[in-house]
Structure 1
Amino acid sequence: METEWLRTFIVAAKTENFRETAEKCFMMQSTVTKHIHHLEKELQTPLFERNNKQVKLNSVGAHFLQKAEMIIETIDEALNSTASFVNGFTSQLTIGVAPQIANSTLPLIVGMFQQKRPTIQLSIELLKSNEIGEAVYAGQVDIGLSKLSSTRNLQTEILAQEPLQLIVPMSKKETDVLTLLQQETILTHEYAPYWQEVQQVLQQFPCYKSMQLNQTELIKNFVKQGLGIAFLPKSVIDSDHQHQLLFSCSVKEFQHIVSNTYFLTKYFTADSDAFFEVCQNIYRANK
């Protein structure tokens, strides 16, 4: 049984369309038909119901699809593992990371970790903060870097507690804070755990208006285009502030509000310990 037959079958089973399968697999439709025919001959049973030019997965095909996916997953894992070994990697860590962290401190963390532990292969999964704890608990990732803690029974460490900075367009950097808060749209993040505290303080400033966005990079781009202002953690806006792409400042009424960054793992190992140490060093250096 050829693995290529299995890969073709998996796509065909999910599309129930041999022409579409051919397009997705970059092969001729006649090749798709041959692969399915060879597989059915090997298994000694049809996998599809055929009606003119239409095909539909039958009950045997549906059962075999689960097995085929398991076989291909095992083969791919073995190939990837062997390739890593050949390239000098002795182990692997999968990191689930929130976009806000991925777009700010993660490159520094990865760069330092690769220098210190070059034989550990890193794999990065971009996840929302509210998904990371579950991914760690389910074993989908080894480590989580999140802006939210988890209700699951995980090893949880706070990497940073950063003060919020008010960010404004460069064209309005001379405008006083009270005017900004009363006249500009305040852009908020869907999963920012500090937003409720920000709202409580904003009640001191009548008639403020807000808009919810679901990505930090989008918030920063809106601010740069003069479409609002926002409160974001220091590490997220440092680079843009240094390059004068936006202006940031501390506002005394909001100084008590912080944004936490969490390190989540189910079990501490030598590899995860090493990664945690690098994370700590990066966040300490960027205070």
Structure 2
Amino acid sequence: MELQQLRYVIAVAEEANFTRAAKRCFVVQSALSHQIKALESELGTDLFARTSRRVDLTPAGAAFLPHARRALESAELAAQEAVAAHGIVNGALKIGMIPTVSAVNVPVLLRHFHESFPQVNTSLSVRASDDIVESVADGALDVGVVGMPRGRAPKGVESAHLTTERLAAIVHAGHRLAHRESVDLAELTEEVFADFATGGAGREQSDVVFVSAGIERNVRFEADTPESLLGLVREGLAVCLLSPEAISDSTGVRAIAVNGGPERTQYLVWSRFNPSPAARAFVDFVEEPQT
């Protein structure tokens, strides 16, 4: 059994097509098919059920696939560790970040990290906090930056506190409260709100505070990005609760401090299980002050 055979099996399973898998692996289809047939002969069972139009995993293939992925990941990590022992950090680094990061300047951070570790192949995806934590815990992401409501820390991962901030009420520039520097939570009772979807950490941080204060609020609009929330505010349809940093480049809206308002803590998170050299380098890089 060879690592290349494992790569071919994974590619066919994910593409559900031998032709696409061969293109993905930069190999002719006949060579890929031959290697998979050789592996199936060695195992004494078929990994794929094939027709002229369809390719599916057999039960044996479905059982084999997760172990093939882990074996390949372990081999790649072994190579990275060996190189890192000589002071060179390389390999892939998959980063997840919430769309409302304020603890770090993401583009500047990534540029500085790339300058320090040019051989690391860095990728970034924007996701919800709970999705990032789950993905880091199961190995789909290496590191992430998440925002959690007051009193709730990420579970199942290692984490480091980055910042805690109080959210502001974001209102239209012509709103009745726009001239105020601060408001009490109760003064927002009659407002129509726009917020993130129910169930996520981005929504929970506000829901918890209003419920604890015994205040029912009217969340009429839900959106998945700060830009969408701000768009609703600019049109005078709603108010929302965001970090004041979220409107640093925005016009037509104002941020008002909310006494007793929601707080969120941003954390850097990474895997508890044998993080890669690139992940460890990124964690150290974020935690060390950059000049």
TM-score range, shorter chain: 0.5 to 0.7
Q: Which amino acid aligns with 1:197?
A: V
Select which of 257, 261, 282 maps to 2:261: 257
Tell me the TM-score normalized by structure 1.
Answer: 0.63
Stretch moving more, 147-156 or 21-30? 21-30
Alpha-carbon spacing, 1:54–1:175, altered in 2? closer, same or farther (3 Å): closer
Number of aligned residues = 263
Q: Distance in 2 between matches of 1:197 and 1:42?
A: 61
1:212: which partner in 2?
222
Stretch moving more, 83-92 or 1-10? 83-92
Shift of 1:130: 2.5
2:145 and 2:269 in contact (8 A); partners too: no
Q: Distance in 1 between matches of 2:104 and 2:11?
A: 37
1:163 and 1:233 in contact (8 A); partners too: yes
Shift of 1:15: 5.7
Q: Which amino acid aligns with 1:186?
A: F
Stretches of structure 2 lacking an aligned partner (at least 5 in a row): 179-187, 273-279
2:170 and 2:233 in contact (8 A); partners too: no
Stretch moving more, 53-62 or 144-153? 53-62
Alpha-carbon spacing, 1:54–1:91, altered in 2? closer, same or farther (3 Å): closer
2:147 and 2:267 in contact (8 A); partners too: no
Q: Distance in 2 between matches of 1:158 and 1:104?
A: 8
Instruction: Map Cα deviations across residues 13-57 of structure 1 (whole Å, 9 max, x no partner).
Output: 456554564576576654553343343355565444556776554
Structural mapping, 1:26-105, within 5 Å: 30-41=30-41, 43=43, 46-49=46-49, 56-77=56-77, 88-89=88-89, 96-101=96-101, 105=105
Instruction: Map Cα deviations across residues 201-233 of structure 1 (whole Å, 9 max, x no partner).
Output: 89699xx66212232232234444665432211
Shift of 1:187: 1.0
Give the CA RMSD over aligned residues. Answer: 4.9
1:132 and 1:144 in contact (8 A); partners too: yes
Shift of 1:164: 0.7
Q: Distance in 2 between matches of 1:59 and 1:158?
A: 45
1:285: which partner in 2?
none
1:145: which partner in 2?
145
Select which of 244, 248, 254 maps to 2:254: 248
1:10: which partner in 2?
10
- Matched position secondary structure for 1:239: coil
Q: Which amino acid aligns with 1:9?
A: V
Q: Distance in 1 between matches of 2:192 and 2:247?
A: 18
Is the radius of gyration larger for structure 1 or structure 2?
1
- Matched position secondary structure for 1:73: helix
1:163 and 1:256 in contact (8 A); partners too: no
Structural mapping, 1:173-212, within 5 Å: 173-177=173-177, 185-190=192-197, 191-192=202-203, 193-197=205-209, 210-212=220-222
Instruction: Map Cα deviations across residues 245-270 of structure 1 (whole Å, 9 max, x no partner).
Output: x421316xx23314323325578x89
- Matched position secondary structure for 2:153: coil
- Matched position secondary structure for 2:100: helix
Alpha-carbon spacing, 1:147–1:202, altered in 2? closer, same or farther (3 Å): same
Instruction: Map Cα deviations across residues 98-135 of structure 1 (whole Å, 9 max, x no partner).
Output: 221179743344456667xx259566554422344555
Q: Distance in 2 between matches of 1:263 and 1:114?
A: 21
Greater fraction helix: 1
- Matched position secondary structure for 2:74: helix
Identity of aligned residues (%): 22
Q: Distance in 2 between matches of 1:97 and 1:51?
A: 41
2:166 and 2:243 in contact (8 A); partners too: yes
Alpha-carbon spacing, 1:8–1:185, altered in 2? closer, same or farther (3 Å): same
